């Protein structure tokens, strides 16, 4: 069984002892019921990790010792950026969680003409922080040391215009008239995948995306729900050109 993992904001400690942040300490002592002598791992979200041993548990404090650098890296060789149309909160949480587990580097929620959920201002900031916590938990579970970058929600049209000169392969999932993903050239730098809302993209949105260099692609003959399409698309990218291949 692998050691429990805890996210600790950088920088990671250089000393021989380290006190876990409050949230991680609570999870270790109250939820996981860890004890003195148990092995754990801490990571900073930017690629670094340390193996450690619990030296002390006292009240709300959990102190680690025997800190040693962990050299294992779990990042994909293919940089994947997911632009996901906003959907219901439970579905969006699920997409963020699974996309993180599958190795996505960036997650960008986009608000489309047919998006059910739309956020702005303080609500958008709060939801973005929530998604970041979902991604942290997913990294703790799956072994990643790099947190995916979680962007604040943006309007799809505005974002498309901002990435018209983006370097790397760009794909938009569209039904009808699109080519199969495997027929596309292998991405050389990164792959950006745009997934639509429950009602699909409007004709204008699809046209703008293609004008901005996004190749329309299919993932088989069936119409997929937005949350299914996101995970299937990421998995296909990893299978064709990433760390599943």
43 and 149 co-located in one domain? no
Which of 152, 138, 153 is CA-nearest to residue 45?
Answer: 138
- Residue 232 is assigned to a structural domain of this protein: yes
Per-residue pLDDT at 137 exceeds 80: yes
202-240 tens-digit pLDDT? 999 999 999 999 999 999 888 899 999 999 999 999 999
- Residue 172 is assigned to a structural domain of this protein: yes
29-44 tens-digit pLDDT? 999 999 999 999 999 9
Number of domains, the chain: 2
Domain boundary among 44, 69, 94: 69
- Residue 74 is assigned to a structural domain of this protein: no
- At 94, which helix (H) or strand (E)? helix 89-101
Spatial neighbors of 96 by CB under 8 A, at least 6 apart, are 107, 131, 134, 135, 138, 150
Measured in degrees and rounded to the nearest 5, phi and psi for residue 106 equal -140, 145
Give the N- to C-terminal CA distance of the chain in Å, as an integer.
26
61 and 123 co-located in one domain? no
CA 183 to chain centre: 26
Per-residue pLDDT at 102 exceeds 90: yes
Domain encompassing residue 11:
5-69
- CATH (domain of 151): 3.40.1280.10
Measured in degrees and rounded to the nearest 5, phi and psi for residue 193 equal -120, 125
- Residue 147 is assigned to a structural domain of this protein: yes
pLDDT value, residue 226: 95
Per-residue pLDDT at 10 exceeds 80: yes
Per-residue pLDDT at 1 exceeds 70: no
pLDDT value, residue 89: 87
198-207 tens-digit pLDDT? 889 999 999 9
Per-residue pLDDT at 168 exceeds 90: yes
176 and 86 co-located in one domain? yes
- Residue 23 is assigned to a structural domain of this protein: yes
């Amino acid at each position: 069984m692998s050691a429990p993992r805890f996210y600790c904001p950088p920088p990671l400690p250089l000393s021989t002892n380290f006190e876990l942040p409050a949230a991680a300490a609570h999870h270790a002592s109250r939820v996981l019921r860890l004890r003195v002598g148990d092995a754990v791992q801490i990571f900073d979200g930017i690629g670094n990790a340390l193996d450690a041993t619990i030296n002390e548990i006292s009240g709300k404090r959990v102190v680690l010792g025997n800190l040693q650098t962990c050299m294992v890296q779990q990042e994909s060789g293919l940089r994947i950026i997911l632009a996901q149309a906003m959907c219901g909160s439970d579905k969006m949480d699920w997409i963020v969680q699974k996309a993180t587990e599958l190795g996505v580097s960036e997650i960008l929620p986009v608000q489309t003409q047919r998006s059910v959920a739309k956020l702005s201002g303080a609500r958008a900031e709060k939801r973005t922080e929530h998604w970041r916590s979902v991604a942290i938990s997913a990294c703790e579970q799956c072994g990643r040391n790099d947190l995916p970058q979680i962007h604040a929600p943006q309007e799809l049209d505005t974002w498309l215009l901002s990435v018209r000169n983006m370097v790397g392969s760009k794909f938009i999932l569209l039904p009808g008239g699109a080519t199969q993903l495997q027929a596309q050239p292998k991405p050389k730098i990164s792959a950006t995948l745009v997934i639509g809302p429950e009602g699909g993209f409007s004709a204008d949105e699809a046209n703008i995306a293609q004008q901005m260099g996004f190749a329309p692609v299919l993932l088989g003959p069936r119409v997929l729900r937005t949350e299914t399409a996101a995970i299937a698309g990421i998995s296909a990218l990893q299978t064709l050109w990433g760390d599943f291949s």
